[in-house]
Structure 1
Amino acid sequence: MTGKLVKFRTEMDRLQQTGVTNTAAVAALEQLIGERRRNLRDLEAEVAEIDKRSVNMAQIVSEIEEEVATLNLNEEAKRVFASFNEICGVEGCGLFAFSTESYAKNLLYLRDQIKDLERISVHNALRKESFLQQQQQVRLHISDLENQRDTSANSSVAQATRSALDSLTSQVLDLEMRKRDIERAELLGKRLAEAIEQRDKAIDRVQALTRDAEMTPGVVKLRVAIKDALLKWLDILQTSNVSDDIRFKDDFIPTFGSESLAQLKGSTKVRVVLAYHAAVIQALAELNGEVPLQFLILDTPKQHEIHDIDLGRYINELKRFGHDYGFQIVFSATEYRHDGDSSDIEWTAMFSGERHEMFLGSPAANHNV
């Protein structure tokens, strides 16, 4: 915006100098025409992008409606099964209670998604209409400038110069107004961000004085960040047999659908624990812009319950994360050996033990052996 203003003001100064010819005035008008054509192309690109998004959203809505239809069919099939005395013959049978509750939640979620997409579609339609109106205005302006250019080519120098100056002045005033609007919007956005921050701090202070501080804005933000990061790390560890419906109890203890962390067993539990540790650190780093520690020690997880490929991918991702935020990963393992690079250091046990090599021992005894 500032660059355009400087360019147009320079052109105005040049036209106001003595010795200017019709050619200079026509060139100034050509410059304005070129600028307006670029504006028209930008507007056309915005309309094309909105049309593309509308097609995608229509497809998504269609897929969601198919999911709703499938849910309804499943619920109808459940009701048929429940009507059989051989399956659910006791009055008040709760065999399908969980299915009914799950159906209601999923149906509500899908319908909420459709409503959100419909709101976005309405907003996009209004934006498209605004862009189309702007296109029409720009086309009219281009036509007017082209008529001025053609007239200036056959007019006297004074008339051509005056016509070019009028067009440049109009363009400069328009840019000045747009620049002020942008600066005001940026200022209001900054004030809004400061006000939201002050509001969140005030809510945190008030909630901290009450018994239940569970739902303060700070806790909610951290929960959301942990959940998003946890889903990512579970995927890195190829944890496919836990629900992605992650909720929290007692502030930050995760539950996965109807399963608590204590109910998980074997490889699944090990993967979830590793993913949760990494997710908490990532969430703190993303919210605060830094990691509140300088190193992370993972002490002998049950490597035999995780495939080496999955564990290696987990460590490599931790390494990249540690490099970005400047903290070190220390990993203790008895069975797994990581294939590191030049930035890694491996410490191996140097002392003999009854079952395996040990890190602590007597140098003299080890020498005798």
Structure 2
Amino acid sequence: MAAYPEASDFLCFCLERANEFSKRDWIASLTLLTVRKRFSIALPQFQEYSQLLVSRADVHFHDSVHLLLHRYGVLGYAPAVWQLLPLMVARVPLMTPKQISLCAWGLGRTLVHDDEAWTTLGAALCDQAREFALADLAMYAWGLAAVDRVSPSEIVVLKESVRNQLLGQTLPESSHNLCILLKAVGKLTPDDRRFLEWLLLLMLEAMETRTISFSAQGLTGIWAALGMLKWRPEDRMLEVLCEESRRLRLDHTFNQDMAAELARALLVLDVDDARPVYQVADYVARRGLSLRADTLLVLAEFFAARQVNHDVAWKRLGVRAQQRGVDLRLRDIDRLVVAFRRAGRGNQRIYGMLSLFLRLREDQAKYGAA
């Protein structure tokens, strides 16, 4: 299968050999699809492939439907997940905690709001809560937060399980699960400041003592959670977080979405500290020519608000505004113009291109797209 780099060729091969495929082959094909060139869930071959796979799920995946839900979650293909729900509901009582969490993640990733399915998963969580590992609880919480399912019994059990896992125990080596839990629980129960503060203090203490390593994803997740909650921690706590953030630029996984999340949080929390601000500026200086239109707008407004004087970064934003500004909506193009004017970083070329994009959007609003 790996010999077909193009998605269409790969899918044609799978359809031709479907009768010979084993369970392992189907799973491998779903996994490889994520790295095929020009893959889209809108491809007719994928629709046919998916229908064929789902129709055989009872035969090949009667005891491992969680694997299909996870792979379809990675692909973001909700129709197949909906079709697999009856099989999942029937199998949940026999699933392990990890399998239950994978199902919850798959449903959350594809935004499947099926009350019966979530009720069944919730009952399984309540019955087996003591057997859930921290990673399983984090994955389950992520799924709940993705679909905004606030079920009191499930939330209470989940929080109690997290406390039991962490109180008096050795902290995990990775911060990933803790950061996911902070963001997910913050979204589900933003008023439970006691639990959230306990979890945040636990992580900040681990930062100070270097007990746990924090990745770029984890750190920006903490900032994003605080921004979402509009919760500005005490100065001592902020100092720890800012100090830990000064190495974000050294993490190769730090991407434009993380930079934009960090920028939003710093503005919402009114944190004006050079350490996290520089991480954003340095990223734009290095990777600014690959920004999407949405992150371009967020970062330009952040630079203007924080009066960032990084010439190279501003040049990258100016070039990218001329390349991708056309992808923005009418009012967002106006916001981008305001950001450049506020910072005094625009020129005739930038304003000329943005005014052209504005006229295009105005014409589309009046006469429709051509």
Point out the structure with the larger helix share: 2
Settle same-fold status: TM greater than 0.5.
Answer: no
TM class, shorter-chain normalised? under 0.3
Q: Which TM-score applies when normalising by structure 1?
A: 0.25
Q: Which TM-score applies when normalising by structure 2?
A: 0.25
Rg comparison, structure with higher value: 1
Point out the structure with the larger strand share: 1
